Structure 1
Amino acid sequence: MIRKLQAVVLDCADAERLAKFYADFLGGRAVPDPEDADWVEVSGFEGTPLACQRVDGYQPPQWPGQEHPQQLHLDFDVDDLDGEEERALALGATVLERTDQLRPGVNWRVYADPAGHPFCLCLH
């Protein structure tokens, strides 16, 4: 029986850089594995733990295209969409779509982390 989700692991070209992005964004810390230079965990924040894993030949997802599909994305609840967008961009994220400005009644925006993984900021 599965008791809990241990971690969400994101493939990337630079595990240390991506883990630092998420650690700074979530208020946690990046913890490199002393035995595996390709693995960095993000801990010290509320929620499911994240880990970043360097893989050879990493190809970032293309959103919304399907040549390199997103396969998964992360959703983050926020109280201040504009403020958290500004913080995410300062940390290295890029805007993919300001969905709330395109579709009436929608309360999220789509971004890419520094490795190209899509994530959403959702107004809570």
Structure 2
Amino acid sequence: FFNCLRREPGGQSLRCIHIQDSEYILNENVLNLLKTRDLAVNIYQNSVWGSYIHQHLQTAKDSAWIETDNAHVNVLNRGDLSSLTWLQSPIITTNNINDPNSDTCTVHYASLNFRDIMLGKIIL
């Protein structure tokens, strides 16, 4: 419930205090301590102050790095530029590996402008 309130307009200024022990320990010193820590959720349990956080962990599939000679950059979720990642290219070259004069690809450069970014985010 509190996480929903935090997502409302102005919700970033809300703080939650949850006391799981039966003793009442709130006083001015404790409130000042909580203000300096500036945590969204403050939990008092077993005579210790703490907090719970939700942190997204990468799965083994997300963090499995493969060393490859052929890779390209692509977005995993269309329109989400934060999902840009390196992917192993399906091109596997077995011939001409030892030939230093052969190029697997030609590199082209292009600048990105504001319109390109907006198209990538699908805002236009």
Question: How high is the TM-score relative to the length of structure 1?
Answer: 0.20
Q: If you compute each CA radius of gyration, which structure gives the higher value, 1 or 2?
A: 2
Higher helix share: 2
Query: TM-score of the superposition, structure 2-length normalised?
Result: 0.20
